[in-house]
Amino acid sequence: MNMTHYMELLATNQPWNLLLFMGVPVVLAETLAITELYLLYNRNFTGRVRQVNRLAGITVGIYFIGIILYLIPNAVIPITQNGEWRTALDVFAVGTYLLSGIPLILVALQDLGLIQKKLSETRKLGWHITYVAAFLVLGHLAMIAGMADPSILGYQGPGGHDMEYMDMGTMPSHNMAH
């Protein structure tokens, strides 16, 4: 089956690439999102949940800087220079994945006191929530596009043919797990 470079990145070097490029940032971002909801509900900006929220926000922002700094010279530039993009779907998947890191970087900058320093805690929380929402939208768009087969937009991979999909209704029963 043909796959986008996004999906190929996650599928290569199992399980390490999946953990490094998906597992770690998603767990940190989901921790950030869950703690945001708690803070939004109770407005306790000094407790342990805020500390976890701040640590997750700083860590995921810095982590995504590393991802971006690694992928641009090691994947995006060579793929572009060699004309190896697998349709606009491939560019969209990789592009939205990289763009999804920007809101997380903004969370880290805010939590480090480098931007929006003079805002009230409530206003900072509002921006935090906006950044997390932007990450979730971009990250999910990247995942959806990344999981799609680029042949739907005309890409023909090595060998020039697409994988035939098995009709589960015609599979012999002795091959099915019981």
User: What does the block give as tokens for 48?
Assistant: 């342990």
* Dihedral sign computed on CA atoms, order 95, 63, 13, 15: negative
Q: What is the pLDDT along the chain (178 residues), one digit of tens a residue?
A: 799 999 999 999 999 999 999 999 999 999 999 999 999 999 888 999 999 999 999 999 999 999 999 999 999 999 999 999 999 999 999 999 999 999 999 999 999 999 999 999 899 999 999 999 999 999 999 999 999 999 999 999 876 544 444 443 443 444 344 4
- Residue 130: both structure tokens together: 């906006």
Entry pTM: 0.86
From the list 12, 36, 10, the residue with the least C-alpha distance to 24 is 10
The answer for residues whose C-beta is within 8 angstroms of residue 5's C-beta and 6 or more apart is 75, 79, 84, 85, 86, 90, 93, 94
The single-letter DSSP state of residue 168 is G
With contact defined as beta carbons under 8 Å apart, do 53 and 35 qualify?
A: yes
Structural contact between residues 32 and 60, judged by C-beta atoms closer than 8 angstroms: yes
Measured CA angle at 8 (ends 6, 13), to 5 deg: 120
